[in-house]
């Protein structure tokens, strides 16, 4: 009985700490002008999850970290956006073309990030932004592919994302993408690793709670690519997925794999209605 | 010259005479400390910004010495009193002898 008494005591101590956690109600306005929707009514397909409000990961971070995203000068992710502008204008490959040769100014990419991953009819597959960028590099520019979750790709994704900042995420979940979306959903709820955790274990059933020192968010990806203070660089969605699955002590899928593309589509669709926020700042 | 170095400054375009304004500066620089080794075990030579200054119409506002423990992309935010209209000149000194400069004009009134 002594053991039981101790357990009760431990629970009582732990309770007040948990009550302090939870998302805040701050408002995110970038540069004093771009209003970001960081809380939105959950999309219809999430009815069975019991979540009625989807929230950007921004709400789960400390005030100091939040502030870094409110001004582009303070946002370290914008350094990589600047670098990507140089890459955008730089002709590479056998065709002597740059991104700008076909797409003119990066501002022509407005609205693109909001709808990716999306179905590509010609290729007959679901494409992420990174796949599309590499397709352009190989087939239009005659250049080498970029590493899927590497620095060049993350920076270019940031440049493309920033054009859509403030626009609502709106990825398709039915039609030709339906099968891939279902596969992504399956993966989201599949437990992996020695710790036997699925995405849902943390980000659906326990968001707002602390997992040791980390404040669990809903795992939304509207803010990607994300500048993380812990590694001082931009992080792509797939690199984040890999990190999460590794943390369950499982062998992970590779960035750019069909499994991660499917998962990205499903997770993105859970954020339909939130604003595109990338490049965001997280810890 | 180290690659990917780009200075950035955020300063107001105009101010009242005698007003205290906030200046933000950032230079993208890898700030290689000289303590790390590459995959072959060779020490990567130190390459950092070692000094940063700001002058207003020739008068020094701030003069900072930097050391290897300062992390990548050094950021400085400071306040300055604007006595009159003029040019604010920012200078970063690289270990390799490169000097990066940026000038912002502040109007008064």
Q: Is the pLDDT of residue A251 over 50?
A: yes
Q: Could you tell me if residue A63 is left (phi over 0), alpha (psi between -120 and 50 degrees) or otherwise beta?
A: alpha
Cβ <8 Å between A73 and B71:
no
Q: Could you tell me if residue B4 is left (phi over 0), alpha (psi between -120 and 50 degrees) or otherwise beta?
A: left
Question: Which DSSP symbol is given to B17?
Answer: T
pLDDT of residue A36: 92
Nearest CA in chain A to B10: A73
How many whole angstroms separate alpha carbon A111 and alpha carbon A102? Answer: 17
Q: A-chain residues within 8 Å CB-CB of B28?
A: 79, 82-83
Q: Is the pLDDT of residue B20 over 70?
A: yes
Q: Is the pLDDT of residue A14 over 60?
A: no
pLDDT (average), residues B58-63: 93
Paired strand residues for B30:
none
How many whole angstroms separate alpha carbon A228 and alpha carbon A213? Answer: 16
pLDDT (average), residues A131-138: 95
The predicted-structure confidence for A205-226, as pLDDT tens digits, reads as follows 999 999 988 899 999 999 999 9
Q: Is the pLDDT of residue A10 over 80?
A: no
ipTM of this predicted complex? 0.76
Mention every residue, 6+ apart, whose C-beta is less than 8 A from residue A5.
Answer: none
- How far does B12 lie from chain A, in Å, by closest CA? 13
How many whole angstroms separate alpha carbon A201 and alpha carbon B80? Answer: 51
The SS3 assignment for A254 reads coil
How many whole angstroms separate alpha carbon A141 and alpha carbon A137? Answer: 5
Q: What is the token pair recorded at A96?
A: 């002597």
CB atoms within 10 A of CB A116: 23
pLDDT of residue A24: 86
For residue B6, what pLDDT band results from cuts at 50, 70 and 90?
confident
pLDDT (average), residues A17-21: 48
pLDDT (average), residues A15-28: 66
Which 3-state string (H, E, C) describes A7-71? HHHHHHHHHHHHHHCCCCCCCCEECCCEECCCEEECCHHHHHHCCCEEECHHHHCCHHHHHHCCC
pLDDT of residue A21: 60
For residue A1, what pLDDT band results from cuts at 50, 70 and 90?
very low
Cβ <8 Å between B73 and A74:
no
Higher pLDDT, A33 or A7: A33
Write the residue in A73, A74, A232 that is nearest to B72 by C-beta: A232
First to last CA, chain A: 42
pLDDT (average), residues A46-70: 92
How many whole angstroms separate alpha carbon A81 and alpha carbon B92? Answer: 22
Q: Is the pLDDT of residue B3 over 90?
A: no
- The residues of A carrying an active-site annotation are 244
Omega into A225 within 30° of 0, i.e. cis? yes
- In terms of Cα–Cα distance, which of A57, A72, A49 is closest to A24? A57
Write the residue in B6, B10, B73 that is nearest to A76 by C-beta: B73
Q: Is the pLDDT of residue A235 over 50?
A: yes
How many whole angstroms separate alpha carbon A136 and alpha carbon B5? Answer: 28
Mention every residue, 6+ apart, whose C-beta is less than 8 A from residue B91.
Answer: B52, B53, B54, B55, B99, B100, B101
Q: Is the pLDDT of residue A20 over 70?
A: no
Q: Are strands A233-235 and A226-228 parallel, antiparallel or unpaired?
A: antiparallel
Q: Is the pLDDT of residue A11 over 90?
A: no
Spacing of C-alpha A19 from chain mean position = 27
How many whole angstroms separate alpha carbon A114 and alpha carbon A178? Answer: 18
Q: A-chain residues within 8 Å CB-CB of B6?
A: 79, 82
- How far does B69 lie from chain A, in Å, by closest CA? 15
Write the residue in B10, B28, B71 that is nearest to A79 by C-beta: B28
pLDDT of residue A191: 96
Interface of B with A in 5-34 (CB under 8 A): 6, 8, 10, 24, 26, 28
Q: B-chain residues within 8 Å CB-CB of A76?
A: 73
How many whole angstroms separate alpha carbon A267 and alpha carbon A180? Answer: 12
The predicted-structure confidence for A168-177, as pLDDT tens digits, reads as follows 999 999 999 9
Best interface-test mutation with B: which of A32, A72, A73 has the largest number of B CBs within 10 A? A73
Higher pLDDT, A10 or A122: A122
- How far does B102 lie from chain A, in Å, by closest CA? 16
pLDDT (average), residues A246-264: 95
For residue A18, what pLDDT band results from cuts at 50, 70 and 90?
very low
pLDDT (average), residues A71-88: 91
SS3 content of chain B, % helix, strand, coil (to 5): 0, 60, 40
pLDDT of residue A32: 86
The predicted-structure confidence for B79-107, as pLDDT tens digits, reads as follows 999 999 999 999 999 998 999 999 999 99
Cβ <8 Å between B24 and A76:
no
Cβ <8 Å between A73 and B73:
no
For residue B5, what pLDDT band results from cuts at 50, 70 and 90?
confident
A232 has a chain B CB within 8 A of its CB: yes
**pTM flag (> 0.80):** yes
Q: Is the pLDDT of residue A58 over 80?
A: yes
Number of A to B CB contacts under 8 A, please give it: 16
The predicted-structure confidence for A148-165, as pLDDT tens digits, reads as follows 999 999 999 999 999 999
Compute the mean pLDDT over every residue in chain A, rounded to the nearest whole number.
90
């Amino acid at each position: 009985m002594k053991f039981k008494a101790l357990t009760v005591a431990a629970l009582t101590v732990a309770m007040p700490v948990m009550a302090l956690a939870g998302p805040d109600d701050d408002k995110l306005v970038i540069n004093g002008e771009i209003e970001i929707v960081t809380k939105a009514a959950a999309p219809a397909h999430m009815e069975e999850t019991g979540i009625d409000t989807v929230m950007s990961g921004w709400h789960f971070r400390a005030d100091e970290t939040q502030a870094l995203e409110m001004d582009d000068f303070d946002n370290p992710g914008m350094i990589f956006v600047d670098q990507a502008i140089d890459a955008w204008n730089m002709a590479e490959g056998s065709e002597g073309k740059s991104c700008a040769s076909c797409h003119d100014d990066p501002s022509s990419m407005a609205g693109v990030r909001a709808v990716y991953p999306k179905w590509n009819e010609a290729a007959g597959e679901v494409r992420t932004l990174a796949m599309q960028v590499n397709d352009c590099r190989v087939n239009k520019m005659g250049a080498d592919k970029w590493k899927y979750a590497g620095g060049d790709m993350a920076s270019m994704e940031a440049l493309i994302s920033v054009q859509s900042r403030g626009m609502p995420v709106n990825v398709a979940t039915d039609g030709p993408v339906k099968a891939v979306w279902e596969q992504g959903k399956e993966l989201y709820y599949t437990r992996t690793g020695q710790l036997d955790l699925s995405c849902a274990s943390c980000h659906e059933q326990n968001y707002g709670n602390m997992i040791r020192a980390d404040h669990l968010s809903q795992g939304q990806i509207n803010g990607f690519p994300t500048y993380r203070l812990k590694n001082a660089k931009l992080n792509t969605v797939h690199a984040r997925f890999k990190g999460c699955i590794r943390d369950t002590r499982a062998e992970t899928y590779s960035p750019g794999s069909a499994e991660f593309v499917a998962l990205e589509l499903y997770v993105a669709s859970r954020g339909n209605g939130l604003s595109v926020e990338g490049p965001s700042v997280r810890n | 010259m180290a690659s990917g170095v780009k200075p950035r400054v955020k300063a107001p375009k105009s101010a009242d005479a005698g007003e205290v304004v906030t200046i933000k500066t950032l230079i993208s620089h890898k700030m290689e400390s000289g303590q790390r080794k590459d995959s072959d075990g060779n020490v990567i030579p130190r390459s950092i910004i070692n000094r940063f200054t700001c002058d207003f119409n020739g008068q020094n506002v701030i003069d900072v010495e930097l050391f290897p423990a300062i992390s990548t992309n050094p950021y400085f935010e400071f306040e300055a009193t604007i006595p009159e209209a003029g040019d604010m000149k920012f200078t970063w000194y690289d270990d390799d002898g490169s000097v990066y400069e940026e000038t912002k004009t502040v109007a008064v009134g």
